[in-house]
Amino acid sequence: MHLHLLCCVPQVSIYHDTWNDWLYIEWEGEITLPVAQRACAELARCTLTRPYARVLNNNTSLTGVGLEVGAWLAFHFMPHLPLAGVRHMAWVCSPELAGLTLIKTVMNWLPRLEATIFTDVEDAVSWLIQRRDSLHQPAARTPAAQAKLQDVLAALERAASVHAA
């Protein structure tokens, strides 16, 4: 991987892997709802200027996830990933992470998104590389889709500011 840092907020770093042309998201520590909301707002901001069809989400350095985080992700953030252009997500989790079952359940709810959970970054990378063959150049977003994505970002930012206060 050849990583270019796009954004760094507490406990989350978001990169563009320029060799593989995907987003790489690295989480660490304890993830609370305010942390997740702020990070997801930044992730949405990263997708405003260009779509990323593939995402490698690395949770191997997490020490814990608040129970409310999974529900919030499932209902308020992840359903918007296809709008942002995401079509394939490799989610790398530590097998010891509490809540792994919840993550698997959330992943199964996602429409129009091929998502798989891994316990090893190398396996996730290999899986995402294989998905490159099924991709064609993403179409430019329509003005309506871009406006909707901007509305989603505004809602995410409001949610993050409410919990940060």
Q: Express each pLDDT in 68-91 by its tens digit.
A: 888 888 888 888 888 888 889 998
Per-residue pLDDT band for 160 (boundaries 50, 70, 90) equals confident
Q: For residue 46, what are its two tokens?
A: 């990263």
The yes-or-no verdict on residue 133 having pLDDT over 70 is no
The C-alpha atoms of residue 89 and residue 144 are separated, in whole angstroms, by: 24
The C-alpha atoms of residue 153 and residue 159 are separated, in whole angstroms, by: 10
pLDDT of residue 5: 96
Listed in sequence order, the DSSP H helices in the chain are 33-48, 67-72, 100-108, 121-132, 143-164
- Report the pLDDT averaged over residues 128-145: 76
Range of the structural domain that residue 102 is part of: 3-25+32-164
The C-alpha atoms of residue 165 and residue 123 are separated, in whole angstroms, by: 40
Q: At what angle do helices 33-48 and 143-164 cross, to 10 degrees?
A: 150
- Total domains present in the chain: 1
Is the pTM here over 0.95, yes or no? no
